[in-house]
Amino acid sequence: MRRQQSLKRESVHQVDCRKTPEIVHSPNFQLLCEKGLSGEADQHLYKTKLLKKHQHSPTREKPYGCDQCGKRFTTSSNLDVHKRIHNGAKPYGCDQCERRFSESGTLVIHQRIHTGEKPFSCAQCGNRFAQSGHLVAHQRTHTGEKPYGCDQCGKTFARSTTLVAHQRIHTGEKPYGCDQCEKTFARSRTLVAHQRIHTGEKPFCCAQCGNRFAQSGHLVAHQRTHTGEKPYGCDQCGKRFAQFGTLVAHLKIHTGEKPYGCDQCGKTFARSTTLVAHQRIHTGEKPYDCYQCGKRFAQSGQLVAHRKIHSGEKPYECHQCGKRFAESGNLNKHLRIHTGEKPYVCDQCGKRFSESRTLSKHQRIHTRETWL
């Protein structure tokens, strides 16, 4: 024990106070040493290793330079990892979904999507996370801390990555481009999700029925068809929804709000995505193609529905009569046969309809009457 204390004093005295004082000499250093360790010996060993690493950078020299961008690194291995940004090398592959990564650590984190492993736990509420960074960001929901502020509009964020993505609203920057349809995105994860439209990849699988999905959010929404959960409620009519986006779109029925306008024909829409899809009528653009038959579509949803012709898949089942459908929208229409719901109302005569197209056809009666 005496020798251990002597070694501890010696290690501390060897530290040069000019090197990374914010790490070694701050109160957080003690917390860092104790995090995840048990016993004085383990804590001392951890501190000794950290101090030793600290001591081995006397001048913080960075002798290894990238010949493409000039950035410099302390180790050759860090330079090798950096070079993959330029050459696009992704040597680490996932054996479950064939996704590839430039760093082994990123692969380890990705694999937790498949295994469901969440090793990081919040001490306050017990929520668990796959990444330590997600835990740190989550803990700010308890403290209310939002340390990252936008210098243009003043909005603050709990995560630096959210701030970076937000700032692209102001700059209009969309640095992530699809190499198949040339569509660009503000976030890399949105590009990754988009590319699955072209590849047909569906890495997220429902444990109950085996249906697969391209996005984790789609899987979460699908799982509510098994549980019947509808957590999002309309405060005006009481109708409930399984997805938040569906609630937002529904609310515009009550307000009549259509903030997105087409600059060619003046038609307005409640959703920006509907406007984008509409504009393809004018441009004739059909960026989504079926890899089996080559047919092209203006909307990704049309492609997804078309693919089910090849696969014969009908994942949406009516829980009342057992009839199955290839599209959730067709199931929703069918359910109105059982419920008698008629959500589409004519603003001129008050007549109600179960489908929007039937309402549109009916409204032509009033249009003809006006002309007469």
Domain residue limits, the chain: 245-371
For the chain, the distance separating the N- and C-terminal CA atoms, rounded to the nearest angstrom, is 103
Tell me how far apart the 2 most distant CA atoms of the chain are, in Å.
105
pLDDT of residue 369: 56
DSSP bridge partners of 233: 240
pLDDT of residue 94: 92
DSSP-based three-state secondary structure for 24: helix
Q: What is the pTM of this model?
A: 0.37
Burial of 286 (0-12, 13-18, 19+ CB in 10 A): middle
Nearest to 15 by CA among 46, 52, 45, 42: 52
CA distance 9 to 24: 14
pLDDT of residue 282: 92
pLDDT of residue 65: 92
Q: What is the pLDDT along the chain (372 residues), one digit of tens a residue?
A: 444 444 333 333 333 333 333 333 433 333 333 333 333 333 344 444 444 444 445 456 889 999 988 889 899 988 998 888 888 889 999 988 878 998 998 999 999 888 889 999 999 888 898 888 889 888 888 898 989 999 989 999 888 888 988 898 889 888 888 988 888 988 888 888 898 888 888 888 988 888 888 888 888 888 888 888 888 888 888 888 888 888 888 888 888 888 888 999 988 888 888 888 899 989 999 888 888 898 998 888 888 888 888 888 888 889 899 998 888 888 888 999 899 998 888 988 999 988 888 888 898 888 775 555
What are the contacts of 243-247 at 24+ separation with CB within 8 A? none
Contact 197, 303 (CB under 8 A): yes
CA distance 180 to 166: 26
User: Per CATH, is 245-371 categorized as 1.10.150.310?
Assistant: no
DSSP bridge partners of 204: 213
CA distance 97 to 347: 50
pLDDT of residue 121: 92
